[in-house]
């Protein structure tokens, strides 16, 4: 214990030293003034002391392998699995969520609905990226490029050629998909980290092109006056249009969940997971690597293009700055936080990450700081995410297997 406190005191001194120039000093080089903020150092000292104790305790626990009493290698069913194993609870909770989702616009105002639409857009983005990163294990740091492609294709088709929302929705998805394949081709042979950087490059290129191709994208001024989603030419007020967009997004989310769920269990989905686990073994088993990777890219990009269209229609105005690396990072943290490959996890993570800063204005500033810290902590302490993805397992019902290990 004394040893522990001594070490934490050391850590405390170290962090006070580290944060000194950033938190205690602020210089104004233009006016030639220095502002000293000594109080901040006190907070740093306290936080560093406490956190280092927690940190060491958590690391020790992790290295022991979970809570005391649990045997290593024996993964017990987690609470949500146990809860949802009961079909009655499962059915009633799905029903409850469904009713809440349907009634949401009735009990709230259009500001809330608008935020919820954005959160739902990120749910679809998360599920789409989940295909590429979570299932196929291809780290994509430029996912926002496909989102931008979808949004810009609707914006351009709508403002220049007067095409409607419903025509453009599939077009946006398909153009996204096309870009997914186009970008996927050159980088098929790249391994994990190279892939990450190249996709990051593609993401930045998309934004630079949107900023500079005045003729097509209207450059940094953005495109305004995009139509909201229509319904057989019906005239709608802004608030009905918002409610309409909300239900549309609910339908889209359901479609995405259904499709990605089916995809996950399909032949191609299994090929993705196999590719993620071991590329060489997977290719040796006769899986076409190029086709599998490209399909993962294309299907991931499809959803981004699709909701890109909805995003443009919701905002009625788009701008290159809506498609920065930050958006890619947010979607990636949704996937990581939710548990790679887990659909429920991704939905919960998207709702939490998008809604939390909207409702807690005070923390909005700290959002990216917290995201960064959470990404690191998740990787160290809970790499499987909030809701771990449960592999399908088959059980023998013979008493012998029952007595031994079930999975």
Partner 1 sequence: MELEKFLGYFMSGLTRGSIYALIALGYTMVYGIIQLINFAHGEIYMIGAFVALIVAGVLTIYGFSGVSILVLAALVAMIYAAAYGYTLERIAYRPLRNAPRLSALISAIGMSLFLQNYVLLAQTPDFLRFPQLIPEFTFMRPISHIMGEAELVILVTSALSMIGLTLLINYTRVGKAMRATQQDMVMARLAGVDVDRVISTTFVIGSVLAAIGGVLVGSYIGQINFYIGFTAGIKAFTAAVLGGIGNIPGAALGGLVLGLAESLAAGYISSAYEDVFAFGVLVLILILRPSGLLGRAVKQKV
**Closest by alpha carbon to 272, among 244, 246, 294?**
294
Minimum CB distance to partner 1 smaller for 7 or for 90: 7
Residue 7 is a binding residue for partner 1 (CB under 8 A): no
Which stretch, 90-98, 124-132, 186-194, 267-275, contacts partner 1 (CB under 8 A)?
186-194
32 touches partner 1 (CB under 8 A)? yes
Instruction: Give me the least distance between CB of 12 and partner 1, in Å please.
Output: 13
Question: Phi, psi at residue 97, to the nearest 5°?
Answer: -65, -40
Binder among 160, 189, 291, 395 for partner 1 (CB under 8 A): 189
Q: How far is the CB of 140 from partner 1 (least distance, A)?
A: 12
Question: Nearer Cβ to partner 1, position 113 or 335?
Answer: 335
Rounded least distance, CB 5 to partner 1, Å: 19
Told to check if 34 binds partner 1 by CB under 8 A, we report yes
Q: Which stretch binds partner 1 (CB under 8 A): 79-87, 135-143, 158-166, 168-176?
A: 135-143
**Residue of 270, 316, 325, 358 interacting with partner 1 (CB under 8 A):** 325
Positions 106 through 125 that interact with partner 1 (CB under 8 A) = none
Nearer to partner 1, 174 or 209 (CB): 209
- Is 368 one of the binding residues for partner 1 (CB under 8 A)? yes
Task: Looking at residues 53 to 72 of the shown chain, list those that interact with partner 1 (rule: CB under 8 A).
Answer: 59, 62
199-238 positions binding partner 1, by CB under 8 A: 200-202, 204-205, 208-209, 211-212
Q: Which residues bind partner 1 (CB under 8 A)?
A: 14, 17-19, 21-23, 25-30, 32-34, 59, 62, 137, 139, 141, 186-187, 189-190, 192-194, 196-198, 200-202, 204-205, 208-209, 211-212, 280-281, 325, 329, 332-333, 336, 365-366, 368-369, 371-376, 379-380, 383
């Amino acid at each position: 214990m004394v040893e522990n406190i001594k070490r934490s005191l050391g850590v405390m001194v170290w962090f006070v030293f580290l944060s000194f120039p950033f938190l205690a000093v602020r210089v104004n080089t233009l006016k030639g003034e220095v502002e000293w903020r000594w109080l901040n150092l006190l907070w740093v000292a306290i936080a560093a002391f406490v956190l280092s104790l927690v940190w060491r305790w958590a690391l020790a626990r992790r290295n022991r392998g979970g809570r005391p009493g649990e045997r290593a290698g024996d993964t017990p069913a987690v609470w949500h699995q146990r809860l949802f194993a009961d079909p009655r609870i499962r059915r009633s909770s799905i029903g409850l969520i469904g009713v809440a989702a349907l009634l949401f616009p009735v009990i709230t105002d259009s500001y809330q609905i608008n935020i919820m639409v954005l959160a739902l857009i990120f749910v679809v983005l998360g599920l789409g990226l989940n295909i590429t990163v979570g299932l196929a294990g291809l780290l994509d740091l430029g996912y926002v490029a496909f989102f931008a492609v979808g949004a810009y294709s609707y914006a351009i088709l709508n403002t220049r050629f007067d095409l409607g929302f419903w025509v453009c929705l599939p077009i946006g998805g398909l153009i996204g998909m096309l870009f997914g394949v186009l970008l996927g081709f050159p980088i098929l042979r790249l391994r994990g980290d190279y892939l990450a950087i190249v996709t990051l490059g593609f993401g930045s290129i998309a934004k630079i092109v949107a900023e500079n191709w005045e003729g097509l994208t209207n450059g940094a001024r953005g495109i305004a006056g995009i139509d909201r989603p229509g319904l057989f030419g019906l005239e709608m007020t802004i608030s009905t249009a918002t409610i309409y967009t909300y239900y549309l997004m609910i339908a889209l989310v359901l479609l995405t969940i259904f499709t990605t769920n089916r995809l996950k269990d399909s032949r191609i989905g299994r090929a993705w997971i196999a590719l993620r686990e071991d590329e060489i073994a997977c290719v040796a088993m006769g899986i076409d690597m190029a086709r599998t990777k490209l399909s993962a890219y294309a299907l991931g990009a499809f959803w981004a293009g699709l909701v890109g269209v909805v995003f443009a229609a919701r905002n009625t105005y788009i701008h290159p700055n809506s498609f920065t690396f930050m958006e890619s990072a947010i979607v990636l943290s949704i996937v990581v936080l939710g548990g790679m490959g887990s659909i429920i996890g991704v939905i919960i993570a998207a709702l939490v990450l998008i809604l939390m800063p909207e409702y807690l204005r005070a923390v909005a500033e700290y959002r990216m700081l917290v995201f960064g810290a959470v990404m690191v902590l998740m990787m160290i302490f809970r790499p499987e995410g909030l809701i771990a993805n449960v592999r399908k397992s088959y059980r023998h019902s013979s008493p012998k297997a029952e007595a031994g290990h079930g999975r």
